[in-house]
A and B are shown apart, each in its own frame.
Chain A
């Protein structure tokens, strides 16, 4: 896996150094310390734990996740042992990750602004490098719409978390909003240290034979290949709107996908459903492909591809004349 004098794959998010840009997405492999360690050994630059909530949650009955041919759809129901128990797992995970120099990202959710602060304070005890704030959950104080669908609610959660912990936080945005850039601006103004984009896209499968929704929860979140174009668009729009680091997540299955996500403006790249499609070695495969892609073009660092989509066509990889209309996109 290690090669000498290859491209520099390191990057930095809110002051935290990642030796590779690949971030194990939240929900993959739960908060099992040994599985998070395995992802780190496979080449992840950072690993995100499963979202925890202030109180334990059993999650939904099965089916909770299926591969429908173009990616996954899942509704696990945020099963977790509750923040007080999760913090013990996070502590153990952090201990296993420390010698590998792979930072741990905790993930929290809650059903009220105040409880987001509580959850942040609790998980901070395990000293994760970052806290990801999962705001794609219903706000029980506001007729159940998710925090991520309102710039105001997203900002309120961000402010609450920022006053409850010293640890830098990434706010994870939902693609299921009319203007994701507006939400990004709101959380940036509220003090977010970075953005994870995107969460899954709501969807549904129905079994024709029985007429019954496939997921026990009826609806769930679409991830994998079907989500990639949505994720690229969202990351692109967020990168135009704010200058925060972005963990671009959604449908990255290959090293080329990772290049595309970086080109859209991501600082680092989340990996999740790829593990279903390509097996547990997915992170290693993607990392090798990304390294080969860069090395094959004599590109020495990620900075040379990051945000390329926002510029006029880059001379590095094409000699085509400029595309008419590109002036309308702001150069970054």
Chain B
């Protein structure tokens, strides 16, 4: 039986609300999940409204970074310090935290869980770097937070308003082939992850990619979050890409 059994909601209180970029805020809560691992997620519930999955941006205190994408994220963004937010979790498979020369690649708000990972990896002094991408500079997230950990940050925006003009995968390709890295961690949109998986196979650098999915139950039964015969909520959200094309993580 899994060590961390799924639990019911805890009612946490918002202690801080930080505007990260025009569309994104971070909520700091008065609760901690000290056993949560980077890459895992929680279900956030507002009674009477809805419940949706969010990556953990920090475990102690609990932090969730929420970008405005629909009615529920708008309702979560409307919370102020002192308000309550209901949290259920943590769920899902985490990234491997191991001594590695790691490249962390975040697309848009995909940078949020990578910040949790970066904090776990930054103590190792093993050469961690970050590549962040977005459509415009307003979509970039956490460049200052990664910088604050002493981690070099490479930036790409599609409109060229910050960093290199182009997709983040275009700056990742030379980084991966430089031989400076022996592991790639990523979170972001599906198209970015597909491109990164191809780059991992090409460059021989194994990857651990965190996927987003439409999720209903969050605990592995309903099948709503299926991704290539696997469950994003339970097998994932982190899936492994082996350096060779053959084995694609823990196949079913």
The answer to whether A64 and B47 touch across the interface, beta carbons within 8 angstroms, is no
Q: Cβ of B50: which chain A residues have Cβ within 8 Å of it? A: 61-62, 216
The answer to whether B45 and A27 touch across the interface, beta carbons within 8 angstroms, is no
Q: How far is the CB of B241 from chain A (nearest CB, A)?
A: 19
> How many residues of chain A are within 8 Å of chain B by beta carbon?
42
Give the docked Cα–Cα distance between A303 and B235 (Å). Answer: 36
Q: Does A50 belong to the interface (CB within 8 Å)?
A: yes
- Contacting residues of chain B (209-239) with chain A, CB-CB under 8 angstroms: 216-224, 226, 228-229, 231, 234-235
Give the docked Cα–Cα distance between A209 and B31 (Å). Answer: 15
The answer to whether A50 and B223 touch across the interface, beta carbons within 8 angstroms, is yes
Q: Does B129 belong to the interface (CB within 8 Å)?
A: no
The answer to whether B8 and A32 touch across the interface, beta carbons within 8 angstroms, is no
Q: A63-B51, A214-B9, A280-B234 are in contact. Are A32 and B226 (CB under 8 A)?
A: yes
Q: A61-B50, A62-B52, A209-B84 are in contact. Are A37 and B229 (CB under 8 A)?
A: yes
The answer to whether A279 and B220 touch across the interface, beta carbons within 8 angstroms, is yes
Interface string of B1-13 (1 = CB under 8 A from A): 1100111110100
CB nearest neighbor in A for B11: A209
Q: Which listed segment binds B: A129-137, A165-173, A269-277? A: A269-277
Q: Cβ of A205: which chain B residues have Cβ within 8 Å of it? A: 8
Q: How far is the CB of B229 from chain A (nearest CB, A)?
A: 4
The answer to whether A28 and B5 touch across the interface, beta carbons within 8 angstroms, is no
- Contacting residues of chain A (246-296) with chain B, CB-CB under 8 angstroms: 272-273, 275-280
Q: How far is the CB of A265 from chain B (nearest CB, A)?
A: 26
Q: A210-B86, A280-B252 are in contact. Are A64 and B217 (CB under 8 A)?
A: yes
Q: How far is the CB of A34 from chain B (nearest CB, A)?
A: 4
**Total cross-chain contacts (CB, 8 A):** 116
Q: Does A59 belong to the interface (CB within 8 Å)?
A: yes
Give the docked Cα–Cα distance between A210 and B223 (Å). Answer: 29
Q: How far is the CB of A255 from chain B (nearest CB, A)?
A: 14
Q: Does A72 belong to the interface (CB within 8 Å)?
A: yes
Q: Does A141 belong to the interface (CB within 8 Å)?
A: no
CB nearest neighbor in B for A215: B51
Q: How far is the CB of A163 from chain B (nearest CB, A)?
A: 32
Give the docked Cα–Cα distance between A79 and B9 (Å). Answer: 24
The answer to whether A27 and B219 touch across the interface, beta carbons within 8 angstroms, is no
The answer to whether A67 and B216 touch across the interface, beta carbons within 8 angstroms, is no
The answer to whether A72 and B219 touch across the interface, beta carbons within 8 angstroms, is yes
Give the docked Cα–Cα distance between A67 and B218 (Å). Answer: 10
The answer to whether B11 and A210 touch across the interface, beta carbons within 8 angstroms, is yes
- Contacting residues of chain B (74-94) with chain A, CB-CB under 8 angstroms: 84, 86, 88
Q: A30-B226, A35-B226, A61-B50 are in contact. Are A280 and B235 (CB under 8 A)?
A: yes
Q: How far is the CB of B235 from chain A (nearest CB, A)?
A: 6
Q: Does B186 belong to the interface (CB within 8 Å)?
A: no
Q: How far is the CB of A60 from chain B (nearest CB, A)?
A: 9
The answer to whether B221 and A207 touch across the interface, beta carbons within 8 angstroms, is no
Q: Cβ of B140: which chain A residues have Cβ within 8 Å of it? A: none
- Contacting residues of chain B (110-133) with chain A, CB-CB under 8 angstroms: none
Q: How far is the CB of B173 from chain A (nearest CB, A)?
A: 31
Question: Which 8 pairs, one residue from A and one from B, show the smallest C-beta to C-beta distance?
Answer: A30-B223, A212-B47, A34-B229, A65-B217, A62-B51, A29-B223, A209-B11, A67-B6
Q: Which residues of B contact A (CB under 8 A)?
A: 1-2, 5-9, 11, 43, 45, 47-48, 50-52, 84, 86, 88, 216-224, 226, 228-229, 231, 234-235, 252
Q: Which residues of A contact B (CB under 8 A)?
A: 27-32, 34-35, 37-38, 41-42, 50, 59, 61-69, 72, 74, 76, 79, 205, 207, 209-210, 212, 214, 216, 272-273, 275-280
Other than the given A38-B252, A216-B50, A280-B235, 4 more pairs (CB < 8 A) read A29-B222, A32-B226, A42-B252, A67-B5
Question: 22 A-B residue contacts at CB 8 Å?
Answer: A29-B223, A29-B226, A32-B223, A34-B229, A35-B226, A42-B252, A62-B52, A63-B88, A64-B222, A66-B6, A66-B219, A67-B6, A76-B216, A79-B216, A207-B9, A210-B11, A210-B48, A216-B51, A276-B6, A278-B1, A279-B2, A280-B235
